Amino acid sequence: MLSEPIRLRLLALAADEELAVGELAELLGESQPNISRHAGTLKQAGLLVMRKEGTRTLLQLRADAALDPVVLDALTSGRALCEADGSRARVAEVVRARDTLVREFFARPGESSVARPAPELGAYVRMLSPILPRAGVAVDAGTGDGGLLDVLAPIYDRVIAVDRSEAQLARARERVALRRFENVVFTLGELDSPEVCAAVGEGADAVFAARLLHHAARPAFVVAQLAKLCHPGGSVVVLDYVHHDDEAMRDQADVWLGFRKSELEGFARAAGLEQPRVQAVPAILNGKGPDAHLTWQVLVARKPKTQQTTQDTKRRKAVSHG
């Protein structure tokens, strides 16, 4: 079997790089059927690994094949043959040709889509999940039409979408159905209601409130409720406006004209949260809604790992046991 020069050269090239049958045919100056026939013989002997990728068949030397002294001798002979005919030196060119096709494809002019959200945004967001310390349960407090669910559902194992408006939850359910998210639970009620507490259970890894606080009659109380829904060691994340003077926003049911950084940090500390940090949101990310002209900011604070009062523990147990 190993006395055939074509097989020796094929083994040597397949040891250097995983190559398609067509690429090997080009390198060896043989027809694809002839390469496939010789490769089949080597595969049956356990020397080559074949992998199908669509219509292509890729070949590579089995990882431990060279441990056999007979095979090692065949590889040495095959490499000498490939060095002599120049085929081994051309392997790099064949691999570069793959990259050339990719470069040509992406160099083609086309319609710009940078002004629109990427349609594969959910997949990009999913990339964040493995690097988060905990991505089990998230709460979307005041979910509204569910816009934030497009981000949370791909990341967390389970998302609890909370709103006190059935009309808003209906819109969020429609969004989730269209995207076929199966890990979102909808809960109607106030943040401190038994229904919400029961849905959250022992606490969420992260509690989010996107543009909710400026609608709240008592913002500090809302942040305190967000903290109670959070598992010790988890995070509370609030997206809201920087303090502004646009009275027209009251037509959007805004009770408060945004918040100063010190106010948000004060809400967090009063709720027993630690390490509050407030960062501005680049204006380009604000979308095109009636509040796009405002400056947005994000508050992130962590619930201490040791913080969970006896009263809070009893309340959760009472809810979970009916």
Any idea what DSSP says for residue 118?
A: -
Q: State mean pLDDT over 223-232.
A: 96
Model confidence pLDDT, tens digit, residues 88-131: 999 999 988 887 877 787 777 766 555 566 778 778 888 888 88
Crossing angle of the two packed helices 32-44 and 5-16, in degrees rounded to 10: 80
Q: What is the DSSP string of 303-322?
A: --TT---HHHHHHHHHHHT-
Residue 195 — φ and ψ, nearest 5°?
-65, -45
Are 5-103 and 121-320 in the same CATH fold? no
Question: What is the DSSP code string of 38-93?
Answer: HHHHHHHTT-EEEEEETTEEEEEE-TTGGGSHHHHHHHHHHHHHHHHHTTTTTHHH
- Of 58, 56, 10, nearest to 34 (Cα)? 10
- Of the chain, the percentage scoring pLDDT greater than 90 comes to 76
Confidence tier at 288 by pLDDT (50, 70, 90): confident
* Strand-pair category, 19-20 with 56-61: antiparallel
pLDDT at residue 310 in the model: 41
Is residue 31 helix, strand or coil? Answer: coil
Helix and strand counts by DSSP (H, E) for the chain: 12, 10
pTM: 0.70
Strand boundaries in the chain, DSSP class E:
19-20, 48-53, 56-61, 137-141, 158-163, 184-188, 204-210, 230-241, 274-280, 296-302
Encoding tokens for residue 192? 């401190």
What is residue 316's predicted lDDT score, i.e. its pLDDT?
54
Q: Are 276 and 220 within 8 A, CB to CB?
A: no
Q: What is the pLDDT of residue 123?
A: 87
Length of the chain: 322
Q: Name the residue among 265, 267, 261 with its Cα closest to residue 275.
A: 265
CATH architecture assigned to 121-320: 3-Layer(aba) Sandwich (3.40)
- For the chain, what percentages of helix, strand and coil (3-state, to nearest 5) are there? 45, 20, 35
For 187, other C-beta atoms within 10 Å of its C-beta total: 21
List, for residues 183-227, the tens digit of each pLDDT value. Answer: 999 999 999 999 999 999 999 999 999 999 999 989 999 999 999
Question: Mean pLDDT score of the chain, rounded to an integer?
Answer: 90
Nearest to 78 by CA among 7, 26, 170: 7
Fold (topology level) of 5-103: Arc Repressor Mutant, subunit A (1.10.10)
Q: d(Cα 71, Cα 78) in Å, to the nearest integer?
A: 10
Q: pLDDT tens-digit profile of 291-309?
A: 999 999 999 999 998 754 4
Q: Looking at residues 274-288, what average pLDDT do you find?
A: 93
Domain boundaries along the sequence of the chain = 5-103, 121-320
| pLDDT tens for each residue of 53-88 | 888 999 999 999 999 999 999 999 999 999 999 999
DSSP assignment, residue 252? G
